[in-house]
Chain A
């Protein structure tokens, strides 16, 4: 890590400055510092405060961008796609049903290689109506060609939003990216955030340099009919980009950690002892809650760790194979389901660990906003200790 003098004087990061921000504010402030040029947005609970903050930043002159309050999420994604296709850096935010309503355009942005960044405030899907967190909305866009990354707290959400632009716009990646935070648990709960500075972000994040764009001096046609051979090639290209994104996400995280001292891990974050009886796997705030649970259990003589999935797409298959060796059992806590099959995280783990004999146990917890505290996670870990595999 560089010296703190370097951090303070060259990057103008003031570590004595701490803001008390909600997760929504943390994302909005980072998005503003990232200088998006077109924002098209539609309100939905719990992500509305992000777009409100952006609209006021534009209106009071703090951010030089076009903000348009459009008539639906479908129009919001279409609008930022238009902006991105014209070569602008673009941002929007949504949640839950809003994401579902955008879905046609979400796929288009992914398959169409438009490096948009979205703040996705995770919220369960209706019916029954629920405004509280789970990860079913994020899972619904799993195969849409988007990078999906999950923050565990407001500081990480702040840091990840800036990194997201850098990863998405990387020419070896060139894919849209969703920065996920848990609805209400992070979006509406204020916590300490050390803010990045404009100077830092301007140095860290180069301006958007589109590979291709709508440009009347060099006309191109997007979205044309594609014959089967080309289609398959385009999808293979998409997959190759996801594979390359693994390294880019890791490198960008590392670079960010070296500059700021804030290391959130790579595609995953490993917490606890080097090797353990059980690894608890989770995403978002459940993983942070699991850290509490394992600390408590380890104090009582158990030997447990946490593997937090930060990047769900691309999925860190190789990293999981590497670290899984260190554990006797894996306990997945999933905040979503894939009805008629194993849960999304379980499917990923069974795929990643195919051919090994590490037992995997899954618990679906915290869906529809059901509160999960560390003591419940401790109880589940105790159960898994007792289960014969």
Chain B
């Protein structure tokens, strides 16, 4: 029998603060896959590493900024997009990526998500959607599916969740994609596309949270959500955006894909043109 192949360093290690490892994420958590796709996308982007900045908020996904060996800022709950907006204004040369969760970006920080999309400011938002607040132990968030059990909806959630791609389209985002963490290559390619895209990019990464969400619902074991993603993901290029609500019902499909991209004047151009038009001197 051949001995197993071992390598000294994982290929992603060079973008990680390995001194902070092992990470605190649970076995079976999808967050590692998101970090991995993001770091591979950085490798492929051709953009110097020191031009990449990562900003995160609060929650398990907020740890992303601590584990990535990039300039990073772990901001307060819900505020990474507002913080990233200021960062981008101060230094438009930077490739600013926000990695945070559904609770952080679409619930407590939902206002900033829609306003950054409205401005079409050139930020990359990777929203890791695990359908609950993971870090505090699995309470309902704005993406918790209708009927799903959480620790604040023990009999099932009677609130309707956000359909995030639809919300983002309505708010003005000009690049919208969704993958599960199982779609590693596609996720990575959408992130690369976000780096290239001139305007607000929104990439939703559906991710298992076996501890906070899975075991209370139909996904008892960590692997069950991944099996579900494997069996029920449907690729659609041009879906009806109103139909993209996710119910995490084992009998329902999960629509994934590069949903939308358009060229629309991004924030800085819009500002320059406006001041040019009114004859002002705003640079």
Which residues of A are at the interface with B, using a C-beta cutoff of 8 A? 41-45, 48, 51-52, 55-56, 59-60, 67, 69, 71-73, 97, 101, 126, 129
Contact = CB atoms under 8 A, between A and B. Distances in A.
Nearest to B157: A69
Given A43-B139, A43-B152, A55-B153, A129 B74 contact: yes
B152 A71 contact: no
A33 to B, nearest CB: 20
A45 B154 contact: no
B76 A51 contact: no
Given A48-B139, A101-B77, A129-B74, A72 B154 contact: no
B107 A55 contact: no
A71 B151 contact: no
A97 B77 contact: yes
Nearest to B156: A59
B47 interface: no
Contacts of A71: 107-108, 110, 142
Interface residues of B, number: 21
A104 to B, nearest CB: 14
B108 A42 contact: yes
B110 A69 contact: no
Interface of B: 58, 74, 76-78, 107-108, 110, 133, 135-137, 139-140, 142, 151-155, 159
B129 to A, nearest CB: 15
Nearest to B108: A72
A69 B139 contact: yes
Contact of A59 (B76, B78, B137, B155): B155
Contacts of A97: 58, 76-77
Given A48-B139, A101-B108, 5 more contacts: A43-B139, A59-B153, A60-B154, A69-B139, A69-B153
Contacts of B140: 69
A118 B107 CA distance: 22
A188 to B, nearest CB: 12
Contacts of B78: 72
A59 B154 contact: yes
B136 A48 contact: yes
Nearest to A67: B152
A244 B78 CA distance: 40
A56 B154 contact: yes
Contacts of A51: 139, 152
**Which of B74, B137, B152, B155 is most buried by chain A, counting CB atoms within 10 A of its CB?**
B152
A69 B152 contact: yes
B267 to A, nearest CB: 26
A276 B139 CA distance: 50
A126 B139 contact: no
A127 to B, nearest CB: 8
B133 A43 contact: yes
A307 B151 CA distance: 40
Contacts of A129: 74
A52 B76 contact: no
A265 to B, nearest CB: 34
B152 A55 contact: yes
A48 B108 contact: no
Contacts of A41: 152
Given A72-B107, A101-B77, A45 B135 contact: yes
Contacts of B159: 69
A52 B150 CA distance: 10
Nearest to A44: B136
A236 to B, nearest CB: 36
Most buried by B among A55, A60, A73: A55
Nearest to B66: A129
A129 B66 CA distance: 12
B187 to A, nearest CB: 27
List 4 A-B pairs, minimum CB-CB distance, nearest first. A43-B136, A72-B108, A55-B152, A43-B139
B46 to A, nearest CB: 34
Given A45-B136, A71-B107, A52 B77 contact: no
Max chain B Cβ within 10 angstroms of own Cβ: one of A42, A69, A129: A69
A48 B103 CA distance: 14
A256 B67 CA distance: 52
B152 A52 contact: yes
Nearest to A98: B77
A71 B78 CA distance: 10
7 contacts: A43-B133, A48-B137, A59-B153, A69-B139, A71-B142, A97-B58, A101-B76
Contacts of B142: 71
B110 A52 contact: no
Contacts of A52: 137, 139, 151-152
A43 B154 CA distance: 15
B120 to A, nearest CB: 24
A316 B142 CA distance: 44
Contacts of B153: 55, 59, 69
Nearest to B76: A97
Contacts of A72: 78, 107-108
Contacts of B107: 71-72
A42 B59 CA distance: 13
A101 B152 CA distance: 21
A52 B152 CA distance: 5
B128 to A, nearest CB: 17
A123 B78 CA distance: 19
